[in-house]
Amino acid sequence: MVELSKKIDLKIRLVYYPPYHSKYNSVERCWAALENYWNGTILDSVDAVVEWASNMTWKGISPIVHLVETTYAKGVKVLPQDLKQYFPSWQRSDTLPKWDITIVPY
């Protein structure tokens, strides 16, 4: 995100939702809409999921659906010494420093 911020020369504000606060998370609301749209359909294959997702619309807009088959490694962490280079770009909120960060392009 720091590299993107620098590339587009724009501040990016990241606000994370604390655990167990899914009702405020727009992604969680999107999943709820998908569940309502599928309406109990048995999604027993990848093709069925892709087809249902591709045909969904929201306010007349159809999604662009891509099947991603990449396997991502679990437990990958950035070492503290590698992370240190990004600290100057991070501005943490005084009131919610763990959940609210602004990335400033330097």
**pLDDT category of residue 95 using cuts at 50, 70 and 90:** very high
CA dist 37 and 17 (Å) reads 25
CA dist 1 and 13 (Å) reads 10
CA dist 63 and 53 (Å) reads 8
Q: What is the pLDDT of residue 56?
A: 83
> 0.85 exceeded by the pTM?
no
Q: What is the pLDDT of residue 94?
A: 95
Mean pLDDT of the chain: 88
Task: Compute how many other C-beta atoms are within 10 angstroms of the C-beta atom of residue 103.
Answer: 20
The amino acid sitting at 28 is E
pLDDT for 25-72, tens place per residue?
777 777 777 788 888 888 899 999 898 888 888 788 888 998 999 998
